[in-house]
Amino acid sequence: MKQLFILITLLAYVSTASAQFKQLAEGSRIGGGKGQAGIFLLSNGHTAFVYELSSDKKGFQLEFYNTAYKRIATKPLKPAALSDKDSELMTCNKLGADLLVTFEVTKNDTPFLYRVVYNSETGEMTNMEKIGERGKEPKNAAAARLFGNVPSPGFYFDISPDEKFYAVATMNSFVEDRNKRIELALFNDQHKEIAHSFFKSPQNGKFKYMRYEDMAVSTAGKLFVLAEAENTRSSGGKESDIVLAELAPGSDEAIIHGLEGWKNKEEQWNGVFHYNPVTNKLIYFYERAFRSRSKTCLLTIDAATGKVESDTLIRVDGLEPLYQEHFGRKAHLKLSPQQLRIRKDGSYTIIFEEVIEHRTTSKIGSSTIHEHDSELCELVMLNYDNSGKLSSRYILPKKHYLYNDMRLGFCHGSRPGISRLKDFGKEFNVSLFINSISRPAVLFNDDPENEENIKKGKKLNTIRDTDNCDAFYFPLKGTDLFPPRSYIFRKGTGRGEHFPAYLDIADYDEAGNTLVTLKHENSKSRRLVWLQL
């Protein structure tokens, strides 16, 4: 049986391994070193490229490209009015044909959130405005966070799936009034505030501490925010609750939903929260405690009523026998939840990844050094239709080793925006999911030899840098449990020739079937490249 399975897999690989994408154009080259960058394909077909300049020229650069991939504007990302302020780039997001940027600016020890909007047709700034403010932190703030269970203050941002609305949540942890510790603001695509409220402590102010968890904005312009309300033994008795706030356009007070049908709410500790525009449901993909282990669940909430519809256990244990049939009995899948991605037709994909933690302790003289390394291994993709029925599942074997980098569940995050560039050769640890209805796929860098290792059910080569890596494309179509792969660029001609990509800096437009990312130009630079799948 194993030999037959390997033969079927081999035939699938033979037909696709040499394929490559069509390159449409190349853009700017950026230098080496550390920094941040982001790429955004906007609704008018234009591209925004944000990247951090080298250390001798501090700051971010913004470039716009038109539909012919010609650069039409280049300028500093930070407006001149903020250039002399103590400011930090928070988020970059696309909103239709605009690029929406937020900066946290500190004046007299008070943090403010500034919104800056750029028009991609002209490259000009069309709006700069203060949209959030936090109070000054007291002198004992660090101790309060560490020992007093006080959540860290911060600004949070999200956009509706159709890019027509967006919201800001402000965590004001040190405000005296417990009913004003989470502030909510909702905006339309004309950047006008259409609703504003506070997330009040539930049950008539019963809980002293409010902790922001996550939020989602609907296509009807409603904002939904999950928060944990908590008391300690010294503040009314140790107890907690998780509640949902709903803020509608035109409203100045958020409605609080108790989520009474959620039986496992006290056991949850981490997750991602999304809105499904087709079903009008809110989905919380989360981990919960279960004895000495954890379980992964999917909570579904009716956005029209705020009531819990279901809390479903996501089972992946049935995949391990199939995995062992191919790789042997000693092979195991120790999976951590990572992402939930919803498509425009309401179908969605749940993504797991095997994360293996390595801890080492060493002594240098009288000092003890503790190091935490991680291995990012098999990806498991579960595809569901918009009714919640499992339609397909896939395993993508890989073995990426990260030094001094501890990863946990949901470590890939759920929000688009700016990602940090790493040192050259360290781009291998990112897997890009193409969230397409017709062309769903996963992309990552890998050693080409691992293709043969997977066919034969052998142990994979561990990837520690990109020296021997190429960028590969794995279409999530068909019935093969282990999807075949294609080269994104092309297969090297030998003599160590390889073509990896920096897939953490990428965007995909389904309408135009266009992927834009960064590829290695040479050992000291990366270049912007547009591809067609």
State which amino acid sits at residue 328: G
- Cα distances (Å, whole numbers) of residue 492 to 14, 469, 499: 17, 10, 7
The confidence band for 1, taking pLDDT boundaries of 50, 70 and 90, is very low
pLDDT, tens digit (0-9, with 9 covering 90-100), for 135-154? 888 777 777 776 667 788 99
Over the stretch 266-283, which tens digit does the pLDDT of each residue have?
A: 888 789 999 999 999 999
pLDDT digits (tens, 9 = 90+) for 216-249: 999 999 999 999 988 876 666 678 899 999 999 9
| Residues recorded for the chain | 533
| Percent of the chain whose predicted confidence (pLDDT) is above 90 | 57
**Residue 427, helix vs strand vs coil:** helix
What residues are paired with 463 via a beta bridge?
Answer: 400
Cα–Cα distance between 44 and 63 in angstroms, integer?
15
- Residues 449-492 have pLDDT tens digits of 999 999 999 999 999 988 889 999 999 999 999 999 999 998 88
Beta-carbon-side half-sphere exposure of residue 295 (alpha carbons within 13 Å): 14
Band the pLDDT of 13: cuts 50, 70, 90.
very low
Q: DSSP assignment of 345-388, as one string? A: TS-EEEEEEEEEEEEEEEEETTEEEEEEEEEEEEEEEEEE-TTS
Rounded-to-5 percentages of helix, strand, coil across the chain: 10, 50, 40
The average confidence (pLDDT) of the chain is: 87
Reply yes or no on whether the pLDDT at 294 is more than 90: no
Q: Which residue has the higher pLDDT, 30 or 394?
A: 394
Give whole-number Cα distances, 322 to 326, 381, 484, 489, in Å.
7, 14, 17, 31
Let me know: does 45 contact 29? Beta carbons within 8 Å. Answer: no
Packed helices 2-16 and 319-327: angle between N→C axes, nearest 10 degrees: 90
Most confidently modeled range among 151-165, 184-198, 464-478, 490-504: 184-198
In this prediction, residue 359 carries a pLDDT of 85
- Structure confidence at residue 54 (pLDDT): 66
Report helix, strand or coil for 468.
Answer: coil
CA separation for the pair 440, 382 (Å, rounded): 12
Domains of the chain: 1-33+385-533 (no CATH), 35-131 (2.40.128), 134-314 (2.40.128)
Task: Give the whole-angstrom CA distance, residue 290 versus residue 367.
Answer: 37
- When pLDDT is averaged across residues 305-323 and rounded to a whole number, the result is 92
Q: Which residue has the higher pLDDT, 427 or 98?
A: 98
The secondary structure of residue 146, as a DSSP letter, is H
